[in-house]
Structure 1
Amino acid sequence: MAKQPGKVESAEAAKYAALSRDIEECRQEPGSTLDMLHAVQRHFGYLEPQAVGMVAEALGLTKAQLYGVATFYTMFFFEPKPPVIARVCVNLSCHLRGAQEILHTLEEAAKQQHDAFEVEEVMCLGLCEQAPALLVNEEAVGQVSAEEALAKVQACVTTING
């Protein structure tokens, strides 16, 4: 089934309109740079260049200055990513409680599902008391087995993909 250009264009226009509203809302707040960058990523899934330009204009900054800020943080993406990202903590607490098994299980599932989701290894989520821990998109999940982690990720993929 071919994509219908009108629907794709209107979906993109809706993203820019929603971002514009978010920018206006954030603009009055001092130190709103990160909030605006998060809004871009929330609407587009990554820091889409034209949308970053909108933020730069609103803040009176250059795109280069915004990218300078964004590159400091690991949670900003500069190219499109799958809609679901599982970040598995492999720091000491999580490692000792089975993080490597979770990481392996999720990586294998991602390959088998043709990259329906992405798996990232991270050093610390600040959830040591809930080890092993992971973030599925922005939701913290702790004290889980590899099978429970996979079920959580797959449920998120199903919800997003419909």
Structure 2
Amino acid sequence: MKETCTLVDPERVREIVAKSRYKQGVLVHVLQDIQQEFGYLPEDALRIAAEEIGLSLAQVYGVASFYSQFYFTPRGENVVRVCVGTACHIRGALAVLERFEKELGLKDGETTPDLKFTLETVSCVGCCSLAPVVVTNEKVVKKKDHQKILDRLRSSRKE
């Protein structure tokens, strides 16, 4: 099979696959390691991994697309998630989302061109008593601290 790798080092992907070759559930481990290495799952890396493991590219995509932890496009260094679950929705999540969209210049699911920020919505983060909730880089932020986060993001954008 002809290699068409443009974004990734094929040998690095082979090393990642080799490291996990004998683990149970090898594909998930390989996908996690590829994403750790590149920040997302580049198609070229998935093609090489599929070939090395002996699976079709469709099988690899089937597993990768099943899990919400995997991403097929580059993500920002700062990920802002706005919870839009029932409790958060009732307590103003859409207004919160609009504030973050305006501040970051993004819509849900988008990443800034400089890869500093990704904005996304999530169905529930399990902190309903703090609603509406925003999660920035895995840290839960309750409503009273949203402005602090917006200020920090604003100053970070100027750097």
Question: What TM-score do the two structures reach when normalised by structure 2?
Answer: 0.69
Structure 1, residues 35-54: CA drift from partner, whole Å, max 9, x if none?
Answer: 22122222223211121123
Structure 1, residues 40-94: CA drift from partner, whole Å, max 9, x if none?
Answer: 2222232111211232133221111111112223332223343333121111222
Aligned length: 145
Structure 1, residues 12-53: CA drift from partner, whole Å, max 9, x if none?
Answer: 54x963x54443332221013222212222222321112112
Aligned to 1:90: 84
Alignment of 1:51-90 (within 5 A): 51-90=45-84
Aligned to 1:117: 117
Query: Is the contact made by 1:102 and 1:149 (CA closer than 8 Å) also made in structure 2?
Result: no
Distance in structure 1 (CA, Å) of the matches to 2:58 and 2:86: 37
RMSD: 3.3
Distance in structure 2 (CA, Å) of the matches to 1:102 and 1:65: 38
Counterpart secondary structure, 1:71: helix
Aligned to 1:6: none
Alignment of 1:1-162 (within 5 A): 13=9, 17=12, 19-111=13-105, 115=112, 116-137=116-137, 139-144=138-143, 145-151=145-151, 153=153
Aligned to 1:5: none
Query: Is the contact made by 1:105 and 1:146 (CA closer than 8 Å) also made in structure 2?
Result: no
Give the number of the structure whose residues are more often helix, by fraction: 1
Gaps of 5+ in 2: 1-5
* 1:105 positional shift: 1.9
Change (3 A) 1:73 1:134: farther
* 1:107 positional shift: 0.7
Counterpart secondary structure, 1:29: coil
Question: What TM-score do the two structures reach when normalised by structure 1?
Answer: 0.67
Gaps of 5+ in 1: 1-8
Distance in structure 2 (CA, Å) of the matches to 1:122 and 1:131: 13
